[in-house]
Amino acid sequence: MHKRSTIPVFILILISVFFSSSSAYNLTLNNTPAQVYFSPKGGCTNAIVKEIDNATLEVLVQAYSFTSAPIAKALVNAKKRAVNVEVIADKSQKKDPKKKGASYTSATFLANMGIPTYIDSAHAIAHNKIIIIDKQVVITGSFNFSKAAEESNAENIIILKNPELASIYIDNFLKHKAHSEKLAPRY
């Protein structure tokens, strides 16, 4: 099997970044359609919501920080359309309701909305920022699913449409789900 050099792909990305006037950069990486977005205010949240809104089968999420109301709402709407939605969040998203001042997190909100939500405490930080849609679309990058990531931070996402890549990410999701604790709803 002949492997292609990654240098032409890197050059293609650089060219598209410097010469595109759009907030989204559309390209093809080795026959895989891709879109790249940058924040602040580069449309990352809207791109994620659009992909979730197009889901028909399944949305799997791994999140470190998750405070984005539009993304949470899109996940709830997907569940209402009978799309299987599951979320794995970092342990920082689990708050002890018995502690004074315990906050209500997006993880709690999703669990309360009937979305299976898991807490991954097996790592110092479960720093993933991944969404897998319909076993074909992978959204990843440095972008935390938060308002600050969209409005204030310098972050990025790449949306890749490739079933083989999605399969690898699904395997990783299932490995993390296996050692995660299901979050009970808290009303």
Backbone angles phi, psi at 96, to 5 degrees: -75, 115
Question: Which one of 95, 127, 135, 177 is the catalytic residue?
Answer: 127
**Tokens representing 26?**
């559309």
CA angle 34, 38, 42 (to 5 degrees): 110
The CA distance from 39 to 139, in Å, is 15
Active site residue 123: no
Q: Is the Cβ–Cβ distance between 18 and 128 less than 8 Å?
A: no
Active site residue 134: yes
Active site residue 129: yes
Give the sheet arrangement for strand 32-38, strand by strand. 24-29, 32-38, 156-161, 137-140, 129-133, 58-63, 84-90, 117-120, 181-182
- Active site amino acids: 127, 129, 134
